[in-house]
């Protein structure tokens, strides 16, 4: 299916130069002289690089259908992550390289969204917020909490996040997976 540049929306997935791109930002420009055009920022799905591309107004590009499927994370064996479709119980093996940074937030039995574009798997998205236990952190010292300082803490998945001084090993924390920031103690 083709779409015109006047149908662009942020987050839309298109095919351009035989690659799949997500529209990060776009702007319709109508100069005083000459024809109108659309200035866009496109992010390539495979590499993640962002480029600026200008289209003529009304130019047509191929629309790519993006779908997501909810899977349950089962376990990993070092090089492969194992997931299961919650509805069909079908199991999927995904390489650690493909899961990438999302692996820092995955705990067994958590649900994740696997994103497909044009029938091809393009990414694994962990839940937006996860609750993980602190396995290791330096002790906080009396008086340090007044300055609002932070210290590194290692979580049960191996991720290291900055936490307030009062956090101790064994505490369960709520973490925002988008930027790896501490939200609250649970």
Q: Are residues 119 and 133 in the same domain?
A: no
H helix intervals, 88-163: 96-99
Q: Are residues 7 and 52 in the same domain?
A: yes
The HSE-up count of residue 31 (CA atoms within 13 Å, CB side) is: 7
In tens, the pLDDT along 121-177 reads 888 889 999 999 999 998 876 555 556 678 899 999 999 999 988 889 999 999 998
DSSP string computed for 4-38: EGGG--TT-EEEETTEEEEEEEEEEE--SSS--EE
pLDDT at 146: 55
Q: Is 42 helix (H, G, I), strand (E, B) or coil?
A: strand
Q: Which residue has the higher pLDDT, 36 or 66?
A: 36
Q: Which residue, of 63, 84, 105, is where some domain finishes?
A: 63
Q: Is 103 helix (H, G, I), strand (E, B) or coil?
A: helix
Q: Are residues 74 and 103 in the same domain?
A: yes
pLDDT at residue 74 is higher than 90:
yes
Query: What CATH number should be reported for the domain holding residue 164?
Result: 2.40.50.140
Q: Are residues 121 and 164 in the same domain?
A: no
pLDDT at 62: 92
**Mean pLDDT over each residue of the chain, to the nearest integer:** 88
Q: Are residues 135 and 118 in the same domain?
A: no
Query: What CATH number should be reported for the domain holding residue 31?
Result: 2.30.30.30
Q: Which residue has the higher pLDDT, 75 or 144?
A: 75
What pTM was computed for the model?
Answer: 0.69
In tens, the pLDDT along 99-129 reads 888 889 999 999 999 888 877 788 888 999 9
The range of the structural domain enclosing residue 37 comes to 2-63
Q: Which residue, of 125, 146, 167, is where some domain finishes?
A: 125
Q: Are residues 138 and 119 in the same domain?
A: no
Q: Give the span between the Cα atoms of 134 and 168, in whole angstroms.
A: 7
Domain count, the chain: 3
Q: Are residues 57 and 73 in the same domain?
A: no
Q: Are residues 51 and 70 in the same domain?
A: no
Q: Are residues 6 and 51 in the same domain?
A: yes
């Amino acid at each position: 299916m083709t779409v015109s540049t006047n149908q662009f929306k942020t987050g839309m997935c298109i095919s351009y130069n035989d690659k799949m791109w997500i529209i990060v930002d776009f702007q319709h420009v109508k100069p005083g002289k000459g024809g109108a055009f659309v200035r866009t920022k496109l992010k390539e799905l495979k590499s993640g690089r962002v480029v600026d591309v200008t289209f003529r107004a009304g130019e047509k590009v191929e629309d790519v259908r993006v779908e997501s499927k909810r899977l349950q994370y089962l376990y990993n064996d070092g090089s492969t992550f194992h997931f299961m479709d919650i509805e069909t119980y079908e199991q999927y093996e995904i390489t650690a390289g493909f899961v990438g940074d999302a692996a820092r937030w995955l705990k067994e039995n958590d649900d994740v969204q696997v994103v497909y574009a044009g029938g091809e798997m393009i990414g694994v998205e962990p839940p937006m917020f996860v609750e993980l236990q602190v396995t290791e952190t330096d002790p906080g010292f009396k008086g340090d909490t007044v300055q609002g300082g932070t210290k590194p803490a290692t979580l049960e998945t191996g991720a290291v996040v900055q936490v307030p001084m009062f956090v101790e090993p064994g505490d369960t924390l709520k973490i925002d997976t988008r930027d790896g920031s501490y939200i609250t103690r649970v």
